[in-house]
Structure formats: C-alpha cells, structure tokens
Structure 1
C-alpha cells in the first residue's frame, strides 16, 4: 500500500459519506467509459466538491484525508476520526474503471449551512462556517454487500447518538452535563445527516443507519433498484467546539443580576468549561474573553425570559447572542 496522502482544508469541521453501487461486472465490462470519476460526476452535490483547498480558519481546524480515515483535528491533536470500510480498497486517482472488487475514494466538500437549532431539541452549534468530506464506495455487482461500516473514533466526553429522524449526532456525553444545580450543559459538535439513496433512474431507495457502539453502518435496499448504478449520500458536518447552557426558571431569575452573571458564569469559567469535556479549552477561552457588554446582554435577556415565564439559554461562544426558550423544569 502507498503511504497515506493528505489533503487539508479549513473547517468548523464536518464530514460526509457517499456510497455508489454500480452494475454487475458483466455489464460494466460492456461500458468501458464507466470509470469511477464519471460515476462521481453524476453524484448529487457535485457542485460542492472542492478543488481549491482553503487554509487555516479562526479555530485552526482541519480535515485530513488518508487511505484509512477522515481525521478532524487542530493543533492540539485529533478531534474525531471516521474510519473507511475495510471491505473496499482505497483509490487516490478515480480515473479508473470499476473492477470486480469494491473501491472507496474520498472527496473534500463545501459544507451547506447548518441550522442554528435542531428540531429534536438537542443542542447544535451557533452559525459557523464548516466544510464537508465524503468517502465514496463503488460496489461492482449486486452480489456485493449492501451494508458498509464506518468506525467512529472520538475523544472521551463525546458520543454518537442515532436520532429519530435517522441522522446521527456527535454530541457531548450527557453524563458530563447537568452537574450544576439548575443548569444543563450540552452541545452537538457534528451531525451526520439522515441518509438517502436513489437508483440510476432517479428512484428513491430505502436506506438507513444503524449504530452499535461507535460502529455506524449504512444499509441500502438494492433489491428495489430498477437500474444501476445506485448512489447513496449521507452527509455529516463537524461544527466545531462550543457549549450550551440552559438555565432553570429559578436560575434564570438569578441571572437578571449582572453580579450573578459575573460571579456564576465568568468568574466560575474553569468550572463551567469543565462541563464540556473535550470542548473545555474553547469554552473556557470564550468565557475568559467576555466583557461587560456580554454581561449586560445576558442579564437583560434573563430579565425578559423571566417576565415571559420562560428560561435563559446561552451559547459559548459567542455569549453575546443569548436566547429565550421554554423551561425544562
């Protein structure tokens, strides 16, 4: 095997995975122009494939592609790795014909904007720039596997959660949150969107994820395909480190006092940051840099929330855009 080749892009980081299933080998042999790169040209979101690599962003975050994994990291080390399926051989140059064995190629993508909040109610990052990367698996015939495993490797304090809508959240371990009376700590660092699949005739196919521990498997209903190739493209985005604090009604009332904001949030920055596990350095730095303006905005928002019978929610960073939400308790 060749040594891993790396391509780096700036990101708030994110990752996307796609699967391509091609016709049986006998059919492929009759279509010598069906090279891997031409299959990719017909894949969704081809307009977002990056050809010019960006440089460092404000968070110093990078996505690195190697033969074995998609690695999301900064100067302090790796944040998360997505290991490619072992059942497919990695190719660097996609200008090859599909042979008799599964192949996998990787592409760096321009990410789409993520919403500021998920409908599931789990915490997601405030507006950030992010990027995406995908691993594209080419399966040579209908007798090949219809399920592909991606191992997720994350630091302690992060967990993967399969959501009701079929997506997967990469989030703060809930065991680390809710450790301060009346304050819930949570964060979603990345989201693998609900998967989709379609055959070459444009028909949507059933596809879904299963998650066992840190093994994410995409399943595709190839039997329903009317025409090959079949493509399936789940997409994930790494949204960077941040923290979200949601206050109870009683704590919201307390936070109307600017002195309480200073004492309970800014002066206690080390303890607050520690709630966010691997995201603690970013959260701690944001709290340490907070000024009087942020204190005033948080206290005013808490006052408005209390008047409405609702509760205060603060994202760190940026601190200066607190929100008013329904109380959880």
Structure 2
C-alpha cells in the first residue's frame, strides 16, 4: 500500500507493508484523513509515535471497512471514521474496532475524517478532565484551531459560555459565529481577558507563555488543562495564586491513552454528539481539503496559522 511518512522534515508518499488485521480489529480503505498540528510536529521530529505505533502519519481518517477480525460489530462495507495513534494517511489502515465509529448521517467521508481527533480531544479535556458543569465559564486559547472550533461548539450546546484568544480579528469573528461570547487578539490585548473572567476552566495548547496570566484568570476551584506547548515548555509563575484558589493543573495527551480508555471515550462521544452532527447542530468546520498529491501545500496551509477549523487530505476520492 501507499502511505505518507515524514522523516527529517521531508514528506514521502511511498510503498509500505499493509498491516495485518487481527481479532478485534477492522481494516479500513481510507478515503480521507484529517491533518492535525501533531502531524506537523511528527514530521519535524518533535512528536514521535508511542512505542509500538506505526510511524505513518495521521491521527484520524474515514473510509470503508474492507475486513473485520473476530469479535467486532462492524461489517464489510460500513462507512466509518476512526481515531488513530498513527497510520491514517495511507491507502488502508487497521484499527481497534472500538475506535471506528459510523459516519454520522448526511456527512461525506471527507467531512467525517476530521471529526475524531479534535472532537475526542475537546470532549476529553472539557468534560472528562476539565469537568465543566452547565453554566461554568470556559476560556479556549487558540480558539480558531480545530480543537478550539470543536470546543466552542460543544460549550454552546452544553450550556457553557466561552471566550477565546486568537490571532486576528477575522478569526475572532469566526469563533463568535460558532458561539463564543467574545475574546481577544493575542498580540494586542491578551490581558483584556481579565474583563471576561474569572474562568472556571481554561483549555490551553500554548503552555509556558500564558502560564502566569492563566493563574490570574482562573476562578476558585478552577481547572487548567494543558494540551500543548506552542508557547514554550517553561514558565515562571506565583504558585501561591494557584494554592489560594485551589486550582487544578492537568496535563493531557490523548494519543498515548490505552485502547480501553479511548474506546470508552469514543463511545461517550458518540452517545452525546453523533445525532448533533446528523442534524448539523455540530459542524466539522472543514475549511480546506487537498488531494494527497498536494500534501506539501496542505501542511503549509496548516502551518501558516491562517486556517480556521480543519484541513483534510483526500486519499481516495472514488469512495
């Protein structure tokens, strides 16, 4: 099969051995794969796959089931989207059957390909780890990102007013169109977030650069969930502020979670949101799709930080 690998900064669509399909697994003929910032980092050598996971890029995909192992409920021919630890940017992928969900009614395979990673990430960190309750206020840094776009919509649906930090007025308008109450431009008025706080929960893909400010923005018993380090891995801050407000600081990654944890998370996500995709209450926010032959352009588009929402790679447009 053909698959996309990123080695020392170079992308190569090359021949790789097709994986075996064992008990509890399904083989998917991939129609499209979602492109995420983690793929940019892996390409650059900064985010290696967990032990035992393929080095083929791609944390989410959608396609058609072509083979099933024993003990799974999927059937050959099912249209599914899947959460992966790697391997989605390939002509086929094998995955734990519990990590492949039916494509929500009315969505194309390309649209469905960009759901699993960002929505599972947003659900995990907002509702499971962040434990937000109806009415609690949420701050989403990088609000126009894929995870941010998902998070804003989930907050709106489940009754949590949210605010964002973004890079431009256009991206702030985009976030407000999804349901954000408002926000600030990170290079101009980040401190103005204090006017909207305090926040019960902050979802933070930035890390070090925002640490001191986040400690000031959080409410008593607030939760600060760190999912990335775009602003650096080190910070100097006053821990007394966290202590006095009983703040919880939670580090979170989804990729390295075990199979059972991911299966339970995806089952919960499907139960709570799948009908909302079908009736378009929730949207994939797929901004651009690229054929696999234009993979360099796709990576460049995401790296430009000008994309609001998601990018997909179309691998087989015949499905």
Q: TM-score range by the shorter chain?
A: under 0.3
TM-score, normalization by structure 1:
0.22
TM-score, normalization by structure 2:
0.22
Larger radius of gyration: 1
Which of the pair is proportionally richer in helix? 2
